[in-house]
Structure formats: structure tokens, C-alpha cells
Structure 1
Amino acid sequence: MIPRFWPLLLLAALALAVPAGALVVENADLTPAEVNLLFAMREYTLTYNEYADRLPGWVTGPFADEKVNLYVTSPDGVLVMGITFHEKKVVQFDAKGCPDPFVTVTADAATVEEVMVSDRPFDTFREAMQNGTATIEGDNLLGTLRTGMVRFGLWAMDLIGL
């Protein structure tokens, strides 16, 4: 029989066994639903990191070495995840958010899942921003300026039909 707290044990084991330079997870005292979402995002992040260098610089550049808080809303409440980027790649999750984030992204759980399973996650996120199920806001002056640059880039892509 597998104990009910096995996901937390597995998460703790993974956090301890992570090789140098790999993704790290902090603050792992999570509910089972949060653990499931965190594992799904961790798997997605591994794929994202493989392709990060292929994304347009105006998308990844503003967040290359920054901390972002992701607010995932659901009927059960709001899960806050802190995401740390280094050289355009995700290197750490903090399951309780980051202090002093550069940017805050808000999306519902369905949107987060759609982005993760999409064959074109950038376009899926862009569509979510257009229909209001995802938002991105700067948390300081520099974050506001850089997110403005990203929003302008998305607007320009829509304008020219990309």
C-alpha cells in the first residue's frame, strides 16, 4: 500500500537528487492538487528549456534573469508559483511565490493546462492574453516597461497577421 503523502516524499527526493544546473523546487509543502500541477509544470519546463533559445528574443529576453510570480486561479483558490529564470531558462520553482517579483502572470488552471499540452504553446498563451484568461503585469517600473515591450510585440504580430 502506498502512503497518501507519497507525492510529497517523491518531490522531496527529487529536490535532493537534482544534479547541478538542473531545475530546483523550493517550499515543497503542497496539497496533492498543487503537487500534481507542479509536476506537470516541471515536465513542461524541461521541454520549454530545450526550446527557449529558439523563441524570439523580444519574448524571452525581458525575462532572461528575472523572477516571475504565476498566479493560477481555480475554483479551489489561487496557487502562487515563483519562477526563476536564468539565461532565458527556468531554473527554479518556489511553490509559495517569489518575494519582489519582476512580473506577475495570472491565468486560470485550464489555461495553464492548455498551454502545457499545446503543440504551439506560445500561440496558445497569446490567444489566452487576447481573450483575457491570462494577463501579464510588471511589478516594478522595469517590469512594466519590459512587459509593455512584450505586449507591443504581440500586438504587432496580430497586426501583420503572424
Structure 2
Amino acid sequence: MTPPLRAVFALLLVALTLVTAAGGLVVDNADLTPAEVKLLFAMREYTLTYNEYADRLPGWVTGPFEDEKVNLYVTSPDGVLVIGITFHDRKIVQFDAKGCPDPIVTVTTDSGTVEGVMVSDRPFDTFRAAMRNGTVTIEGNNLLGVLRSGMVRFGLWTMDVLRL
């Protein structure tokens, strides 16, 4: 094996190791419009930042969905993009542009709100404001999902009442 070929091979092994160590974030595409692809990949990039800080978020926010699947319905002028999000240990490990079967909850919002959260200096507060003004809704799909999403809504309401 020549030295340049060995270097390329070594870099490939390092890259594969880093992907595995990072949790192997996967994005599974369906037939998407260019705007939907752009949003999906922006969310993927933002997820890397989210995952770094997930352990710092309140447990009542991330805990109820730490090992669950959630469907995110994002409305736009192009229609509705359904993104299945799989969490493991409070971190996002997979996006699926076809949605997840049997998600615990469904979150509905618009593309502007998703983009606003991603570019915000205070994304948690931006998300809270979107919940308050109704541009983000969370709906449980089964009894456990109803209870867990209710816990999150109650926590956000309590923060608002206490002005935290």
C-alpha cells in the first residue's frame, strides 16, 4: 500500500470512528422539495449543537422523550413535511423524512418557527414563546404520550407563571 493510499484509508477509519462515537446520526430522505431538504439538513446540523447541550436542559423537558420517537409536522407553502425524530439518552440519533411509526407524541409547527429556534441565541426561550403563542403544539398519541407531553406543558406553564 502506498503512503498516500494508507493516509486516505486511515482518514476513512477515523471518520467512521467519529460517526460511530457521535451516535451515528442518520438522515433518511424521501421525495422532498429543495426547501424541505434544506430545512432537514439545517435541522441535522442544529441537532449536533442540541446534542452537545441536551444534558444541560431541564430533565422535565428532555427526560419524557429520552428513548422515544416523535413525529414533527412542519407546515410550509410546499405542504407538510413529516420528520420522525428518534431520541436515545436524551439526544437525537435519527431523522426520518417519512416519519416514525407509533410515535409517542406529535409536534406541529411551521418552518419559520423551526428556523427561528435554530438561529436564536436563546433557543429554549424561543421554543417557549412559540408554545405560548400557539405556533408549536405538542399532542400525545397514546396515554403515555399524553402524560409526558402534559408534564412538559405544565413545566413550561410553571416557568411562565414564576417568570423564570
| Identical columns (%) | 82
Report the equivalent of 2:103: 101
Report the equivalent of 2:141: 139
5+ residue gaps, structure 1: 1-16
Report the equivalent of 2:86: 84
**Aligned residues: CA RMSD:** 1.2
The counterpart of 1:113, out of the listed 101, 112, 115, is 115
The counterpart of 2:49, out of the listed 47, 50, 61, is 47
Deviation at 1:29, TM superposition (A): 3.6
1:19 is aligned with what amino acid? V
Give the SS at the match of 2:147: helix
Rg larger in structure: 2
CA distance in 1, matches of 2:50, 2:152: 18
5+ residue gaps, structure 2: 1-15
Deviation at 1:22, TM superposition (A): 2.2
CA distance in 1, matches of 2:28, 2:77: 25
Deviation at 1:34, TM superposition (A): 1.4
1:122 is aligned with what amino acid? F
Give the SS at the match of 1:19: helix
CA distance in 1, matches of 2:79, 2:28: 21
1:42 is aligned with what amino acid? R
Q: Cα 1:29–1:19, aligned 2, differ >3 Å: closer, same or farther?
A: farther
1:50-89 matches, within 5 Å, as 50-89=52-91
TM-score by length of 2: 0.86
| C-alpha distance after superposition, 1:115-155 (max 9, x if no partner) | 00011111101100110111011111000000101111011
Aligned length: 146
CA distance in 2, matches of 1:156, 1:56: 13
